[in-house]
């Protein structure tokens, strides 16, 4: 942690937890689950993060709000909710032990998303989308588009359902 080699945390924790487990030592109350989980999230190993989350005893999850907050980041990553990732990061008052790691992850994640945008678009006509550009700060403000879900109704399915319900009632 002191060397800020955050990309090595998951492997170090995994190795240590295996080593301790083989010796029959129980450590669930003292184990730095938040750091361990963040280590997997940091290296974008969400499958291992999910496995670790499932292996954490319920009593530990219930007694550590920061651990739950870390997992919220993992959930948003799993659902590919990019805005949700940032909301989860900003939505918790991180402890001294995790603050630098979370900040570093946030920076890495933001850069990764920015690189995706750069790879996806060479130009964006922002004004047609209702977006605005602030010339002073040179920041782009994105207008969220409403999500429209259209439900298609097949008349023949509705007819069959009506007949089925009628048959059940009589």
- In this prediction, residue 138 carries a pLDDT of 74
- Residue 165 falls inside a structural domain: no
Distances (CA, A) of 163 to 12, 24, 153: 63, 63, 16
- Residues 38-62 have a mean pLDDT of 94
C-alpha–C-alpha distance, residues 139 and 126, integer Å: 12
Give the model's confidence band at 126: pLDDT under 50 very low, under 70 low, under 90 confident, else very high.
low
What confidence tier does 47 reach under pLDDT thresholds 50, 70, 90?
very high
How does pLDDT run across 86-117, given as a tens digit for each residue?
999 999 999 999 999 999 999 999 999 988 87
- What predicted TM-score, i.e. pTM, was given to this entire model? 0.71
CB of 74 closer than 8 Å to CB of 46: yes
Domain that holds residue 50: 6-122
- 140 inside domain: no
Q: What total of structural domains would you count in the chain? A: 1
Query: 15 lies in a domain?
Result: yes
- Interval 61-65 mean pLDDT: 94
* Residue 106 is assigned to a structural domain of this protein: yes
| Assigned token pair, 137 | 């700060």
**pLDDT mean over 50-76:** 95
Nearest to 74 by CA among 1, 10, 143: 10
Determine the straight-line distance between the first and last CA of the chain, rounded to whole angstroms: 71
Residue 33 is predicted with a pLDDT of 93
- The pLDDT > 70 percentage for the chain reads 92
Q: Does 131 reside within a domain?
A: no
Cα 133 to Cα 140: distance, rounded to the nearest angstrom: 5
Q: Which phi and psi (to 5°) does residue 165 adopt? A: -65, -40
Band of pLDDT at residue 124, cut at 50, 70 and 90: low
Model confidence at 19, pLDDT cuts 50, 70, 90, reads confident
Does some domain include residue 170? no
* Residue-level pLDDT at 151: 67
Q: Residue 111 falls within a domain, yes or no?
A: yes
Q: Indicate whether 142 belongs to any domain.
A: no
CA nearest neighbour of 70 among 114, 48, 97, 102: 102
């Amino acid at each position: 942690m002191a060397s800020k080699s955050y990309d090595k945390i998951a492997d170090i924790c995994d190795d240590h937890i295996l080593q301790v487990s083989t010796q029959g030592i129980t450590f669930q109350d003292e184990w730095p689950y938040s750091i361990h989980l963040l280590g997997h999230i940091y290296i974008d190993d969400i499958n291992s993060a999910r496995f670790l989350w499932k292996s954490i005893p319920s009593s530990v999850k219930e007694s550590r709000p920061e651990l739950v907050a870390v997992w919220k980041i993992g959930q948003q990553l799993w659902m590919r909710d990019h805005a949700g990732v940032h909301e989860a990061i900003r939505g918790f008052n991180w402890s001294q032990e995790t603050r630098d790691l979370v900040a570093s992850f946030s920076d890495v994640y933001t850069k990764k998303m920015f690189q995706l945008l750069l790879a996806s678009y060479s130009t964006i006509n922002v004004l047609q989308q209702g977006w605005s550009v602030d010339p002073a700060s040179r920041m782009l403000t994105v207008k969220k588009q409403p999500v429209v879900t259209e439900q298609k109704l097949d008349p023949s399915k509705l007819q069959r359902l009506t007949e089925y319900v009628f048959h059940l009632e009589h």
